[in-house]
Amino acid sequence: MLPSVSDGIDGTLVVAECFKNIPFIIKRIYYIYDLENRQAVRGKHAHRNLEQVIFCINGSFVLGVDDGTNKENILMNQRNQGIYLGTKVWHTMADFSPDCLMLVLASDTFNESDYIRNYNEFIDYLKSF
């Protein structure tokens, strides 16, 4: 949970700080919006080394996480509550509200070779540890 400070009629400030409430140095920030297809499923991958914290700063969506043993679906609808996605976690995003806005803080820049985009390959990769 990120700290927030309400300024009354002047709004609310939410702050994320490396190693204080984000467990890594942030090297990449991206956001996803205009999710008009409510049937869309995004993500569908895992990372070998990348760490992320994902937020829903407007609207809602369901975050699916899977470590190869345990699976969980998390309703994302609180602006200052993020979910830490460590390495080797298969994740999906679905059931988007029309006004959904996702924000992701990542530990590194984009690197296609870090992605595992096939679920069976993900399970095989986990077996190598």
* Residue 37: pLDDT over 90: no
* Residue 39: pLDDT over 90: no
How many helices (H) and strands (E) are present in the chain, helices listed first?
A: 1, 11
Please tell me what DSSP assigns to residue 18. Answer: B
The pLDDT tens digits for 69-115 are 999 999 999 999 999 999 999 999 999 999 999 999 999 999 999 99
Please tell me what DSSP assigns to residue 48. Answer: S
The mean of the pLDDT values for the chain is 96
47: annotated active-site residue: no
- Beta bridge partners of residue 18, listed in sequence order: 22
From 42, 44, 45, 88, the catalytic residue? 45
What is the rounded CA–CA span in Å between residue 104 and residue 54?
5
Domains of the chain plus CATH, in order, are: 25-127 (2.60.120.10)
Closest residue by Cα to residue 65 from 90, 42, 86, 46 = 90
* Residue 41: pLDDT over 90: yes
